[in-house]
Amino acid sequence: MMRYRLEKRPEPSKLMLYGTPVAAVVLTMILGCLLFSAIGYNGLRAVQEIFLTPLTNPYKWQDLGIKAAPLIIIGTGLSVAYRANVWNIGAEGQYIIGALAATGVALMTWGMSGWWILPVMAIAGMAAGMAYASIPAFLKTRLNVNEILTSLMLTYASVQLIYYLIRGPWKDPMGIGFPQSRLFSEAARLPNIIPGTIVHLGVPIAVIVALIAWFVMSKTVFGYRMRVVGAAPHAARYGGFSETRTIWLAMLVSGGLAGLAGMLEVAGPFQRMVPGFPTNYGFTAIIVAFLGRLNPLGVIVAGVVLAITFVGGQVAQTTIGLPDEATGIFQAMMLFLLLAGDILVRYRIRRVSPEASVGAA
Amino acid sequence: MTLSRRGFIKVGGAAMTLPLLGGTAFGQAEKLKIGFIYVGSINDNGYNYAHNQGRLYVEENLGDAVETVFVENVPEGPDCERVVRELAQQGCKLIFATSFGFGDSVIKVAPEFPDVAFEHATGYMKADNVGLYNARFYEGRAVCGVIAGHMSQTAKAGYIGSFPIPEVVMGINSFVLAARQVNPEFTITPVYISTWNDPAKEADAARAMIDQGIDIIAQHTDGPAALQVAADRGIVGGFGQGADMSAFAPDTQLTAIIDHWGPHYLASAKAVLEGTWAPGDTWEGLKEDVVQMGPYHSKVPADVVTAAEAMRTGQIDGSVHIFTGPINDHTGTERVAAGVTMTDAELLSMDWYVEGVIPPA
Amino acid sequence: MDLTIAILVTVVGASTPILIAALGELVVERSGVLNLGVEGMMLLGAIAGFVVQFHTGNHYLALICGAAAGMAASLIFGFLTLSLSANQTATGLALTIFGTGFSALAGASYSARPVTLMSPIFPELAAHPVLRVIFGYSFPAYFAIFMVFAIWFFLKRTRAGLILRAVGENDLSAHSIGYSVVKVRYFAVMFGGAMAGIAGACFPLTLTPQWAEGMTAGRGWIAVALVVFASWRPFRLLGGAYLFGLVMTMELYAKAGGGPLSAIPSELWAALPYIATIVVLVLISLRRDASTNAPACLGKPFMPSN
């Protein structure tokens, strides 16, 4: 009888590091195909529509860009934070608060024009996201309160703030009583960058943000410090790196980027604040960060993959009647498989004969 | 630059027709493809369920002449925009966006597809190829109000709403106006729960109202939760909303307001088939069979059924309009003079409560 | 008086599922594992409970199957995080996404079907105007309270409980004195899954006898908050659950009855449990009393350097 055991690799495997996400996606397609065939759908078509149609149909590319942009921006921030072992899972809240701050600027400058309005909105969005993320940062560094829990709680509070503002002080005077803000003026809307498409300025910003983050994390002392603190906090302390400062930086970067994503989203596709603004980008970006291996370049790819499943999921609804829930199931499977594959990065599977294992014991 | 977009469409169109070739055997006349976009699940037993029934009604009546597709659980904002575009691009020549929050997306996408007819439910923004449609649910509320006025022993009703939008305010007012024609002491308490889908909260809201003396319950949220609590507590009764909910509360549902979008959808589909479609602004009700009343429960006394039927038929033949003055607001100030009927525009932006409503803070 | 009793009865109903789910999560977290998949496991428990009740009419069987569904889902989480040392935060979130999607898919054909609520255990006393505040509930309410005592006893007074706490406080030393950290955590995670499943099944069985997509509507996250709010102690959890239930319910009673409380915006009511949890977290840490703090190993994978 053959037995298998896990053996720690002397060094994380590069092949597995980049191979497992690909394997996770491929395995998701296979398992998804089987699962949906088993419950009476055309599984092959389901996989085809969800994963391939958005890629093969050029008209869908603009949708992918728009859907991926906020995921990439938030995911980049989160990957920086997670690298430093700071578990900000409240990006959704920071995204919302960023968007609310930008909305505030847009409403205050309503009817005005000027190139400065959008930059002010962006700064307000980032500052608000940072401010919101600084609550868990403060509590963590000063009082050692778990940042996972505080950032999560703050997310739920922020959703209520949207409802309150658009039901009360920010209600659209022209909206026949519906809870939503008024439509932003032209100057507060993101310009389209490719005429005739819906691709807005947020898409290139997302890519630039990820590239800058990649450069900073892999090529600068700052990035090195963040990674060291994350990988070995004790060693870092001896090396003179401040854990407190790292936590603050990680929180501010991830919160600020989430806030920026919120600003771009409300000024781009939404152009007003509505109750349906929170669409879990902040949570989905956690999947993106992991699928992208906490590497900003990987995050770009992962953001596009997630966008494909969203866009393709809706295609599959109309073409083969696949229920909406399928998208979530595919995404969860993908993350499950990726996390399961993580172990192969640090360990290798060794086949051992019974004698050898007895001998080893 | 427009050239590049045409290129986009052409390539996209070709890619999209390929998988469809298998479905449409050659030699058949071209079917009219109709798209439906729902904000929630078709299994919600309420609003979205009713729209989907309307879709099936069209299929039943037009058979092979049409093909319908739908996308459920579509969030407002960029996701909706993508779905609208997706459906138009897949060849839908008639698209129904069935929720208020879809308005911005439809208005944005419609100019890109001038040969597609769009219809937006409960909205207020029209365009060259965007029509509006709505249903006079308040007419059904008035029928319910008559029954409530007769049957309530405490002369107090409760009304569970999601958000205080004009549609909901109008329904509450209609209900209490009708009830007070029967019993001038009648009052109604609205409770807003700030969500469309949280059945446990709806049920607790119903409990809270029943514990404080109401014995008739009505709701403007999807689903039968409130009705089931009414059944459990054995109060006088409640009303189904959106669909006949008697299966959930066979001894408690006095009647139901049934959203019957079928006739409207059928008429629009026929108009598109015949090439006579023009963007309308329809607000149909009992008369056009778009609002229906469910069966009266056997415990509703015969004279009450007669009174309710009088209200129903009166609204059908036009002899009764529930919003005819004199109408006072909840502070007792006259808002509509005797003999004057409120205009549709006034109704659609109604943000004040009539006498008899105990206004929420 | 009558109204007070009526309010309390509703509060107990609303609090019970949160309490049950939070009790399970408390044990999980005490063993050093953070499972953020509570909401997903609750939804799986809800649909399983609903389907079984619909087909068999047996409420107790439905609760058991709800527990089984939650436990099965927790095994996915356990396998990934314990056997494969995957990140707990990400796995928990994936579990919630999975549970939400899978329950909706499984329940699609059950939406227009009503079931019946569980009846009170003491039907005569449940009709009494005053005594119903104590005796007016169906099985889960008493089960929840029993479990508060049972878990308190287990953690404080049994050897197994001691081991579980040791594993949560310092997994490496627990490992070095010969306890199987992974095995202990597996049991804790499975227990948490079963409790979340029961909590989910309470929705169609005790609160609103129907199936609706996403019907737990975020209560799983409130349960996670509650564990923190209670600083990982069973009796504080009991009080905290009723307090959260009171906050959620008072909003509705205040709005239905008028009075000064009805002037508070509903958004503030809805945000209150989360804000309160943060405040409590801060208060706990200000006390600098080590024993009231979070389990030291919470959320960190067990990595013996073999």
In a domain, C303, yes or no: no
Q: Which residues of C touch A148 (CB under 8 A)?
A: 34, 89, 299
Threshold 0.80, pTM exceeds:
yes
Q: Does the structure show a pLDDT above 50 at B14?
A: no
**Mean pLDDT (chain B, rounded):** 88
Q: Is the dihedral angle over the CA atoms A108, A111, A116, A121 positive or is it negative?
A: positive
Given B112, B135, B158, the domain boundary residue is B135
Instruction: Give the C-alpha separation, B42 to B262, whole Å.
Output: 15
B104 with B118, same domain: the answer is: yes
> In this predicted model, what pLDDT tens digit does every residue of C59-85 receive, in sequence order?
999 999 999 999 999 999 999 999 888
Give alpha helix (H) positions in B63-119. Answer: 78-89, 103-109
pLDDT at A213: 94
The two three-digit tokens of residue B302, written as one number? 């015969």
Q: Enumerate the domain spans of chain A.
A: 42-321
Spell out which residues of chain C touch residue B360, defining contact as CB-CB under 8 Å.
255, 262
Dist CA B82 CA B77 (whole Å): 9
Largest Cα–Cα separation, chain A: 81
- Show residues of chain B in contact with C209, CB under 8 Å: 228, 248
Least confident of A63-72, A104-113, B15-24, B110-119: B15-24
Q: Tell me what pLDDT residue C126 has.
A: 86
Amino acid residing at B296: Y
Q: Which of A215, A248, A213 is nearest to A229 (CA)?
A: A248
Structure letter (DSSP) for residue A200: B
| Position B277 in a domain | no
Cis peptide bond prior to B326, omega within 30° of 0? yes
Contact C226, C237 (CB under 8 A): yes
Residue B160 contacts residue B127 (beta carbons within 8 Å)? no
- CA–CA separation, A30 and B97 (whole Å): 34
**Helix or strand run (H / E) with residue A8:** strand A3-8
Q: Is A163 helix (H, G, I), strand (E, B) or coil?
A: helix
Per CB-CB distance under 8 Å, the chain C contacts of A340 are: 79-80, 84, 86
Nearest-by-CA chain B residue for C109: B43
Percent of residues, chain B, with pLDDT higher than 90: 69
User: What CATH number does residue B172 fall under?
Assistant: 3.40.50.2300
Residue B250 has pLDDT above 70, yes or no: yes
Q: Taking CB atoms and an 8 Å cutoff, what residues of chain C touch B43?
A: 107-108, 111-112, 213
Set of chain A residues whose Cβ sits within 8 Å of the Cβ of B78: 66-67, 265, 268-270
User: Do residues B54 and B33 share a domain?
Assistant: yes
Which of the other chains make 3 or more beta carbon contacts under 8 angstroms with chain A? B, C
B111 within some domain: yes
Burial class (CB in 10 A: 0-12, 13-18, 19+), A34: exposed
> Which of C9, C117, C255, C269 is the best residue to mutate to test the B interface, defined by the most B CB atoms within 10 Å of its own CB?
C255
Taking only the tens of pLDDT, chain A with its 361 residues reads 456 777 778 777 788 888 888 899 999 999 999 988 988 888 899 999 899 989 998 888 888 999 999 999 999 999 999 988 898 989 999 999 999 999 999 999 998 988 999 999 999 999 999 999 999 999 989 888 888 888 988 998 999 999 899 888 898 887 777 888 999 999 999 988 888 778 899 999 999 999 999 999 888 888 887 787 777 766 666 666 778 888 999 999 999 999 999 999 999 989 999 988 988 899 999 989 988 989 999 999 999 999 999 999 888 888 888 888 888 899 999 999 998 888 888 787 777 665 544 434 3
Could you tell me if residue B196 is inside a domain? yes
Do B300 and B191 sit in the same domain of this protein? yes
Examine residue B67 and state whether it is found in any structural domain, yes or no.
Answer: yes
Question: The domain spanning residue C89 has which CATH number?
Answer: 1.10.3470
| Collapsed DSSP state (helix, strand, coil) of residue B298 | coil
Determine whether B263 is exposed, middle or buried from the number of CB atoms within 10 Å of its CB (0-12, 13-18, 19+). middle
Q: pLDDT per residue over B295-348, tens digit each?
A: 999 999 999 999 999 999 999 999 999 999 899 999 999 999 999 999 998 998
Same domain, residue pair B189 and B304: yes
pLDDT of B60-86, one tens digit each? 999 899 999 999 889 888 889 999 998
Q: Which of C84, C89, C266 sits opposite A87 (nearest CB)?
A: C89
Buried-state track C161-197, b at ≥16 Cβ within 10 A, e below 16: bebbbbbbbbbeebbeeebebbebbbebbbbbbbbbb
| Structural domain for B343, as ranges | 137-258+291-348
Mean pLDDT, rounded, of chain C: 90
Q: Give the pLDDT of residue B77.
A: 83
Position B265 in a domain: no
Distances (CA, A) of B210 to B207, C7, C124, C159, C264: 5, 11, 21, 49, 21
Tokens of C254: 């205040």
Q: Are residues B184 and B131 both part of a single domain?
A: no
| B37 SS3 class | strand
Cross-chain Cβ contact A66/B78 below 8 Å: yes
Q: Pick one of 1.10.3470, 1.20.140, 1.10.8, 1.10.3210 as the CATH number of A42-321.
A: 1.10.3470
> Which positions in chain B have a beta carbon within 8 angstroms of at least one beta carbon in chain C?
41, 43-45, 49, 158, 189, 191-195, 197-205, 207-209, 211-212, 214, 223-225, 228-229, 232, 247-249, 358, 360-361
Residue C306 lies in a domain: no
Instruction: Report pLDDT for B7.
Output: 34
Q: Does B197 touch chain A (CB under 8 A)?
A: no
Number of structural domains chain B divides into = 2
**Does residue B145 sit in the same domain as residue B95?**
no
**C253 to chain B, minimum CA–CA distance in Å?**
5
Predicted pLDDT at B22: 34
C-alpha dist (Å) from residue A302 to A92, B294, C253: 18, 51, 47
CA distances from A114 to A188, B238, C226 (A): 9, 55, 48
Indicate if B130 and B204 belong to the same structural domain: no
Q: Taking a contact as any Cβ pair under 8 Å apart, which residues of chain C between 93 and 132 contact chain B?
A: 104, 107-108, 111-114, 117
Between the alpha carbon of residue A15 and those of residues A22, A27, A350, B222, the distances in Å are 11, 17, 17, 51
The structure tokens listed for C16 are 């019970």
Determine the residue among A67, A317, A322 to mutate to test chain B binding: the one whose Cβ has the most chain B Cβ atoms within 10 Å. A317
Q: Which of B135, B155, B184 is the last residue of a domain?
A: B135
Cβ–Cβ < 8 Å for B159, B138: no
Q: Does A97 touch chain C (CB under 8 A)?
A: no
Please tell me whether residues B149 and B236 are part of one structural domain.
yes
Tokens of A214: 């990649």
CB contact under 8 A, B1 and A195: yes
Backbone torsions φ then ψ of A170, nearest 5 degrees: -105, 15
Test B82 with A275 for CB contact under 8 angstroms. no
**Residue B263 resides in a domain:** no
Q: Which residue(s) pair with A351 in the sheet?
A: A4
The phi, psi pair for B69, rounded to 5°, reads: -135, 155
- Do residues C199 and C223 lie in contact, with contact meaning Cβ atoms separated by under 8 Å? yes
Number of domain units in chain C: 1
pLDDT of residue B53: 94
Q: Is residue B19 scored above 50 in pLDDT?
A: no
Contact across the interface for B82 and A63, Cβ inside 8 Å = yes
CA distance A161 to C271: 9
Q: Which amino acid belongs to residue A330?
A: F
Domain enclosing residue C87, as ranges:
2-292
> In Å, how far is C166's CA from the nearest CA of chain B?
38
**C217 in contact with A at a CB cutoff of 8 Å?**
no
Q: Which residues of A touch B89 (CB under 8 A)?
A: 59
Residues of chain C with pLDDT under 70: 288-293, 304-306
pLDDT tens string C196-243? 999 999 999 999 999 988 899 889 988 998 998 898 999 999 999 999
Report chain C residues whose CB lies below 8 A from the CB of B247: 112-114
Q: How far apart are CA C162 and CA A155, in angstroms?
A: 35
